[in-house]
Amino acid sequence: MLEGDSLMLNVETCCKSYRVGAFGGGELLAVQNVSFDVHPGEVVSLIGESGSGKSTIGKMILRLLKVTRGNIVFDGVDISTLGGRELKAYYADVQGVFQDPFSSYNPIFKADRVFTMLRSEYFSGLSATDWHAKLEKSLDAVSLNPGDVLGKYPHQLSGGQLQRMLIARALMLDIRLLVADEIISMLDASTRIDVLNLLGDLKSRGLGILFITHDLSLGNYISDKTMILRRGNVVELGATELVFGNPVHPYTKTLLASVPQLHTKWQDVDVTIGAPPAPGNGGGQLVLAEGSLELVEVEPSHFAALDGDGAAP
C-alpha cells in the first residue's frame, strides 16, 4: 500500500472453479480464496509458474471470466453487478494487455484499426482534428512515432511496437488500472526494458498496475508488492523487498533459488521446481498442502501461507 492513497481495487477471497469429469460431476479449483488490493500508483506483481491461476485472476478482474465465489470490488462497487453503461464506464477505467501482441490484431486490417474501434465507442463526438491530436499524444507517451506505425499492417511492425500500441490504446481512455498479463515475455531483451520503464513511468503518474508474470526478476524490478501463487493459492504476499529479501514459504525459496545468475553456469546449479533447493540456494524443503491455505503475518507487511492444520508447510 502506498501511504495516503485510497483503495482502488479489492479482490476478496476469490475462487474460480471449472466443472470436469463425466457430465461435469467434478470440480477443478483453478483459484482458491485469493485476496489482495491495488492502490493508485502501485504495481502489484502476481508471480507463478504456468497453471498457477495468475492469468485466470487477471481475466476475472477484466470480466472475461466469471467469479465462482468471492468478490472483486472497484471503487467500492462489486464489478459482477455492472452492466450496460456502468460496464462500459468500468472498461474506461480498467484495461488489459496480454502476452501475444499479434493475437490482438486482425492481420487483414491495418494495426491502427484498434484505435478506430475505440473512437467509435468512446470518442465519437471528437472532431477529426481533436482525435488525431489525442492519438498522437497517446503514441508519444509510449515513445512511438505516429508516422512509423499508423497505416501499417501488423506483420509490418515488431512485437514491441504492437505491444506499445495496445498500451497507448489503453492510455487514450485515461485508465486507472492496467492488467498487464505477461506483456513482455515475447519481446526481445532490449525492448523488454523499454516497456518496463514505460510501466514505471505510468506508475509515477498514478496508474495502478497488476503485473502478471512467471519471471521473478521482472517482478522484482518493477513492483511495490509481490504475490506468489502456487496451484491457485497465494503462498506468500507482501512488500516486494520483504518477499524477495526474506522469503518464508519453501516454494518462494525454491523459485528464488532457481533464478539464473550471471556469475554461475547451469551445470553448477542443482535446483528443480518440486525438489528441495540445493544447499546455500534458499534451503528448506518444498512441501505443499492441498486445498486452501491460510496466510499469516510473519512480519509487518509480509504474509506467508500455513497448511490446513495451521502449521508452517
- Convert the pLDDT of each residue in 164-175 to its tens digit: 888 888 888 889
- Please give the DSSP secondary-structure letter assigned to residue 285: -
Whether 130 shows a pLDDT value over 90: the answer reads yes
Which residue type is seen at 265?
K
Mean pLDDT of the residues in the chain: 83
Is residue 208 over pLDDT 90? yes
Q: Is residue 3 pLDDT above 50, yes or no?
A: no
pTM of the model: 0.82
The neighbouring-strand residues paired with 10 are: 37, 73
pLDDT class of 262 with cuts at 50, 70, 90? low
**Grid cell listed for 255:** 523459485
CA angle, 282 as apex, 278 and 285 as ends, to 5°? 70
Summarize the confidence of residues 235-256 as an average pLDDT: 93
Segment 117-124 shows an average pLDDT of 88
pLDDT over 70 (residue 274): no
Q: Mean pLDDT, to the nearest integer, of 201-212?
A: 91
Integer angstrom CA distances of residue 5 from 37, 85, 91, 249: 12, 27, 22, 29
User: Is the pLDDT confidence value at 269 over 50?
Assistant: yes
Domain boundaries, the chain: 9-306
pLDDT at position 91: 93
The least confident of 26-40, 174-188, 236-250 is 174-188
- Range of lowest pLDDT (165-179, 212-226, 265-279): 265-279
Overall average pLDDT of the 164-193 stretch: 84
DSSP for 29-63, written as a single string = EEEEEEEEEE-TT-EEEEE--TTSSHHHHHHHHTT
- CATH of 9-306 given 3.40.1440.10, 3.40.1500.10, 3.40.50.300, 2.40.128.20: 3.40.50.300
